[in-house]
A and B are shown apart, each in its own frame.
Chain A
Amino acid sequence: AQTVTQSQPEMSVQEAETVTLSCTYDTSESDYYLFWYKQPPSRQMILVIRQEAYKQQNATENRFSVNFQKAAKSFSLKISDSQLGDAAMYFCAYILWGEKLTFGTGTRLTIIP
């Protein structure tokens, strides 16, 4: 079974600084998708960024970018210019096409004003 590991239960960053959240996963497949989801205090899950495993280029969405290392099975999220609204739980997730999504246990991000 696929597993997703987020080794940082909590992280904090100064406002306007950069922070990187770690995620590793275990799979024997070559074609899959990876996601980062954000869960603010409102509890609704919001998609932050997605990466297709067949793409070598790292995905970027405004201040959010990933460092996808396929051979190392690593998928970290970098948040640049951190803002107070970025405070949330962040979940890494993996899915094999046609299968169910597997989530990590999450990283709680605190933004320090």
Chain B
Amino acid sequence: DGGITQSPKYLFRKEGQNVTLSCEQNLNHDAMYWYRQDPGQGLRLIYYSQIVNDFQKGDIAEGYSVSREKKESFPLTVTSAQKNPTAFYLCASSIQTGELFFGEGSRLTVL
């Protein structure tokens, strides 16, 4: 089935460690996005990519990094520079009309 797959669903990290969240899509969408969601809050854009080998910072990019080497893949690295990384992370892809298709999310907890 076509869709977006995020892994892992749950991840625990010690302070000072980098972690990478995976996002893969088989929808043949050009654009992909990473959002962060904190309890009781809306979605904030971290990074987005509209084409392979190109990406732009969103509203809260500090402490995060991404790559887009393949159309299907858009991994997000949460670095040790991110001061408050515990959150729910959502990956999405979109068609040209802007409608987003979301993965099931990854919950990161820093111990």
Contacts and interface: CB of A to CB of B under 8 A. Distances in A.
Nearest to B44: A103
Contacts of A42: 104
B42 A103 contact: yes
A101 interface: yes
A68 B6 CA distance: 34
Interface in B82-98: 88, 90, 92, 94, 96-98
Given A44-B105, A100-B33, A106 B42 contact: yes
Q: Interface range on chain B: under 10, 10 to 19, 20 to 34, or 35 or more?
A: 20 to 34
B43 A91 contact: yes
B61 interface: no
Interface residues of A, number: 21
Nearest to A34: B98
B55 to A, nearest CB: 12
A91 B24 CA distance: 24
B47 to A, nearest CB: 10
Contact of B58 (A35, A45, A100): A100
Interface string B35-78: 00000011101001000000000100000000000000000000
A43 B107 CA distance: 10
B88 to A, nearest CB: 6
A33 B98 CA distance: 7
A11 interface: no
B1 interface: no
Given A42-B104, A44-B104, A97 B98 contact: yes
B19 interface: no
Nearest to A97: B98
5 contacts: A33-B98, A47-B100, A93-B100, A100-B48, A106-B41
Interface of B: 33, 41-43, 45, 48, 58, 88, 90, 92, 94, 96-105
